Amino acid sequence: MSRAIFSESERDFLARMRVGRLATADAAGQPNVLPIVFAVDDRRLYTPVDSKPKRVEPRQLRRVRNLLANPRVAVVVDDYHENWAHLAWVLVTGRAEILERGDVYAAGIGLLRDKYTQYHAMPLENRLLIAITPLRVTSWGTFPRG
């Protein structure tokens, strides 16, 4: 089933899950996929460009360069089990924007800090934040309860 916003079960699932995969593509369509941490509210999915060690400056990261050239993205979050009756996933396709300040930025930073205790000690302010507005949300499987 597809829709433009998160259902309650999708939002609950995403709130519990710790890691997703972000897919971006450059202007020529060359894909890039990487694991991310994320948080969601009723309207967006947020992922930081945090201060974990990087080889280049934040604006030179491939995901940031890709988003500046092509804001279309996909994020998949899945829960794999050897018992396939318990598999579940949520796929978010949408448009990303890179934020550095403002109300949406502050909301995303707050959600990330609430979800990941690591961000209590790691600064997120003055870092880039990727905010994804879903255009389509697709899900499948058995969504476990917290």
Query: How is the chain split into domains, by residue range?
Result: 2-141
Tokens of 45: 């999915």
Q: How far apart are CA 9 and CA 109, in angstroms?
A: 23
- Alpha-carbon span 108 to 35, nearest angstrom: 18
In tens, the pLDDT along 81-92 reads 899 888 999 999
Question: Which has the closest alpha carbon to 41: 18, 16, 14?
Answer: 14
Q: From the centroid of its chain, how far is CA 67? A: 13
CB distance 34 to 22 below 8 Å: yes
Q: What is the pLDDT of residues 32-77, one digit of tens each?
A: 999 999 999 989 999 999 766 567 788 889 999 999 999 999 999 9
User: What is the value of pTM for the model shown?
Assistant: 0.91
Please determine, looking at this structure, whether the domain spanning 2-141 carries the CATH number 2.30.110.10: yes
If you average pLDDT over residues 111-121, what whole number do you get?
A: 95
- Which residues sit opposite 129 in a β-bridge? 48, 99
Predicted local confidence at residue 63, as pLDDT: 95
19: number of Cβ within 10 Å = 10
Tokens of 86: 């318990």
Report the alpha-carbon distance of residue 125 to residue 109 in Å, rounded. Answer: 7
